[in-house]
A and B are shown apart, each in its own frame.
Chain A
Amino acid sequence: MMDLGFALNSKRVLVVARRVVRQLKRDRRTIGLITFAPIFLMILFGYALSGEMSGINLGIVDFGGQDDLTDHLASVDDFDLLRLGSESDAEKLIVEGRLHGAVVIRDNEVRILLDGSSPQITSSIMTEVKTGLLPKNGLRNGEMIGGEGESGGAVNVASLGHDGGIGGVGGHGILGSDVGIGRNDALGEYSAVEAQSPEIVQRYVYGYDLEMMDSVGPAVLGLVVFFFTFITAAISFLRERTQGSLEKFMVSPLSRPEMVAGYLLGFSLFALLQSATTFLVVVFVFGVPMNGNPITAFAVILLLGAGALVLGAFFSNFAKTEFQVVQFIPMVILPQVVLSGVWWPLESIPAFIRPISYILPLTYSSDALRAVMLKGAGISDILVPDLLFLAGFFVIVFGAATLMLKREVG
């Protein structure tokens, strides 16, 4: 009864694949879901993560002595400046929530007051203050030195290291080496004391200024493909069961592996279409670099999509209705969104949870896609552990999905 029949009959696999393609071709809504929803989602992500902000309310208490800084802050479009008479006024407005921060400028000191509620806003204010403090023309794109930063991380600064984690989020990556910053109190007050003005040499390891979308885009590409493939596959397999065709297959020469393989083949055409469209949006609309071979990136996405498909087939066994399939989203998709290093580095995930990250396919696809797209990595560079894990994940879940498509289907 439980003959797994792992010898695949290619003709039967093709018969199933052709049927899946024919079906999907006529299912306009699913075609839309597969092709346009990822594009729409990527566009939303793209704009949300472009790293550009506006409407930051910044107070300035100017006692003179730093004209370059004052001029620079006034020239920043993102800031709505409010000139104030005293630091206490500034602090009051911050506490009232009317300002995101304030800069108190004196001849020998620049004090920055921040509400600290948003790392992005904090980063933006800090970056602009530091930029304003730089000697004019002191910033130049120089020779390649230094190593890789954290978030795909391209910024490295000569002569001075990380300044307390601020400035990493927005990713514009200009860290003033001539500014020493220390946190003073709960409000989030920083003082920047001007020091000597050594020449600042800034460089981008991969030759460009990474915005958040650049770093996150490749990983989100994987996430989007995984999400839609998982949902579509789970619903398709559920329909096979509810409409009785699964039971009918069970009493036919079609083996379970042949059925899953046929689906895989049929879906892969649409996964290709989905990957290609999403990929084009990521690269051409948002300018995420494609330094490696696009075919290698496609291969990673397809391998991930294959894993998502068999995972969908596996989970379909636990759902009786399409509504119940949707309930898998918080169980299967959300942990990957949070724990697989799509948005923030794995290193920022607490160590006791991190083992979970290492069993999630998206962790490996994110790593591989970033390596291919941003660093120009080839297949051999991402083979271990990324491709190996994705292939292993696919094989194991394929076996589990096949076993779970029980003969006792009713």
Chain B
Amino acid sequence: MNDGENSDPVSFEEYSIVAQGLQKSFGKLKVLSDLSVKIPRGTTYCLLGPNGSGKTTFIRAVAGLLRLDGGDLSVLGEPVSNVCRVYPRIGYMTQHKALYPDLTLQENMEFYAGLYGIEGARMSERISELLEMVDLADHSQRITGALSGGMYQRLSLACTLIHEPDLLLLDEPTVGVDPILREAFWRFFDDLAEKGSTILITTHLMDEAERCKIVGYMRAGRMLAEGSPEELKRLAGLQPILKLSVKEPEASATRLAAGGFDASVVEGELHVAIEEHRKLKEVLDLVEPLDLRLVEPTLGDAFLRLAEEVQR
């Protein structure tokens, strides 16, 4: 690791992944540009960003599958040049399924268990547990090639978890998984994180990102913003909006503006930004709504706002 002037001392006990100033180009295309990130142990960390922002490149760099052009990277306390030493502690799920279609589900799992030296009763126990978790226990003797896309994805996740890894690298793991099962996945991820595993995940789904403890927003190979979902919304300057249906919206908006509120009329509906929830009562004292609803800002809104700012 660099011990540059501005670098804080890093505790490898505290962090699973520490990256500083990572650089990577494919030809003239720069995919990682001075990327720095620290991922604490026992957390769920989500990488968000548009296509081509460098999320998968970063995950592959962490997995030791890429030669970096510059920067320092350590994984589970090992410099990335020796990352193979900690491979038995890493679970890696690629965007490809990495399953053998002509084997049964059970055989696929036995194969991956064997690679990690899991045998006998422990293997059977682990396979049953994981197939149960991904809701495929009834299909264990089916040929994998006959599974639907979502089932494939679930089996792929189960194979990735077979050896109870300390660090899980999941590249879009819930693509094709239905919302109910996705919920089960996330409960499982939370549970793993609570037990001390670190989960680095990429996703396009904002609602999934919102379930992570830390979200990093990447763009053009850089980390634009990082923090908990709530922190990021605040960073984007987003506030809850109270949407009201009133008899005279224009007059109500003028009244609210005079009272110091940020109010506007959108398609005949009165919108009022609420800095704090206790301000709600003050608004309701000034207008008589026929109907009202409070809309909280989403992480998606936050990233749109951040992206706009970057664009500007």
Contact = CB atoms under 8 A, between A and B. Distances in A.
A209 interface: no
Contacts of A26: 102-103, 143
A389 B11 CA distance: 54
Contact of A247 (B67, B94, B114): B94
A244 B103 contact: no
8 contacts: A23-B100, A245-B99, A248-B92, A251-B63, A252-B115, A254-B115, A407-B65, A409-B65
Contacts of B93: 248
B103 A23 contact: yes
Contacts of B107: 19, 22
Contacts of A11: 114, 117
Among A12, A14, A15, A249, residue most surrounded by chain B Cβ atoms (within 10 Å): A15
Interface string B64-93: 111100000000000011011001101011
A243 B87 contact: no
Interface of A: 1, 3, 5, 11-12, 14-15, 18-19, 22-23, 26-27, 242-245, 247-254, 407-410
A1 B67 CA distance: 8
A374 to B, nearest CB: 41
B111 interface: yes
B240 to A, nearest CB: 42
Contacts of B90: 251
Contacts of B169: 251
Contacts of A1: 64, 67, 80-81, 83-84
B254 to A, nearest CB: 59
Contacts of B51: none
Given A12-B114, A22-B103, A244 B98 contact: yes
Contacts of A242: 96
B98 A253 contact: no
B38 interface: no
Interface of B: 60, 63-67, 80-81, 83-84, 87-88, 90, 92-100, 102-103, 107, 111-112, 114-117, 143, 169
- A-B complex: 7 closest residue pairs judged by Cβ atoms: A244-B96, A15-B114, A244-B98, A251-B92, A248-B98, A26-B102, A245-B98
A12 to B, nearest CB: 6
B96 A243 contact: yes
Contacts of B96: 242-245, 247
A408 B87 contact: no
Given A243-B98, A244-B98, A253 B115 contact: yes
A94 B102 CA distance: 60
B97 A244 contact: yes
Contacts of A410: 60, 65-66
A260 to B, nearest CB: 15
Contacts of A254: 115
A250 B65 CA distance: 8
A278 B65 CA distance: 42
A270 to B, nearest CB: 14
A15 B90 CA distance: 19
Contacts of B98: 243-245, 247-248
Nearest to A242: B96
Contacts of B112: 252
Contact of B111 (A3, A15, A244, A407): A15
A4 to B, nearest CB: 10
A52 B114 CA distance: 56
B73 to A, nearest CB: 11
Contacts of B117: 11-12, 253
A3 B115 contact: no
A5 B85 CA distance: 11
Contacts of B143: 26
Given A1-B83, A252-B92, A410-B66, 9 more contacts: A11-B114, A15-B115, A23-B100, A243-B98, A244-B97, A244-B98, A250-B65, A251-B63, A253-B117
Given A3-B84, A23-B100, A245-B100, A251 B116 contact: no
Nearest to B57: A410
Contact of B67 (A14, A243, A245, A408): A408
B98 to A, nearest CB: 4
A1 B68 CA distance: 11
A12 B15 CA distance: 31
A65 to B, nearest CB: 74
A19 B84 contact: no
Contacts of A243: 96-100
Contacts of A250: 63-65
Contacts of B84: 1, 3, 5
A244 B95 contact: yes
A171 to B, nearest CB: 46
A242 to B, nearest CB: 8
Contacts of A27: 102
A255 B112 CA distance: 14
Contacts of A407: 64-65
